[in-house]
Amino acid sequence: TIEKTVTYGSFEATEENGVQFSSPEADYAEYIPKVDPNEEINPGDVVGIKDGKVTKSLVDADHILVKSSRPIVLGNSYSKEVSEPIAFLGQVAVNVIGTVNSGDFIVASGKNDGTAIAVHPDNISHLHIEKLIGKAWQSSNQSSLKQINTIIGFPFKSAVVSNKVSKISKLEKEILKE
């Protein structure tokens, strides 16, 4: 077979920026083998990683991530037939159900169907932390399934935990004053 290569970006060295990748692609991903080679996992699907294998089921998942649709860097060299490109860092289109406001946290829906929901930062709870994927960089009033540009791979979980601990400490101080 003959493969066609198309250039969508560039790699250059500059005095100002050092080495620079320029591309419309937006995330760092790696091929991860599937639990079930026949499972259909689509770009933007929320997935669980357990013991180094990927599935849409989040039951007992070690990590909750998303299938990439636009990786600028794609690591690991598993066969495309038995693995999927899973995003670890960057901007990723995530399959979200319900309305979304830019700045909302994107959280796995828990339906094991590849979907997520948006949760306003004021409404995030300890129950969401385990299922937290990232933060929406896009808004939508559509309640149906759509893809939302989401920043992933940053320490959102620790920021949410810190914020909750801070609120608890403040409430404890108020209670002790009474």
What mean pLDDT do residues 109-116 have? 97
Q: Is the pLDDT of residue 94 over 60?
A: yes
Please tell me the pTM assigned to this model: 0.79
Share the mean pLDDT of the chain.
86
Confidence of residue 133 (pLDDT cuts 50, 70, 90): very high
What are the pLDDT digits (tens) for 13-46?
Answer: 777 767 666 666 678 899 999 999 999 999 999 9
Identify the pLDDT of residue 8. 58
DSSP assignments along the chain, one per residue? --------SEEEEETTTEEEEE-S--EEEEEEEBSSTT----TT-EEEEETTEEES--TT-SEEEEE-SSEEEEE----TTTEEEEEEEEEEEEEE-S-B-TTPEEEE-SSSSS-EEEE-GGG--HHHHTTEEEEESS-B---S-EEEEEEESSSHHHHHHHHHHHHHHHHHHHHHH-
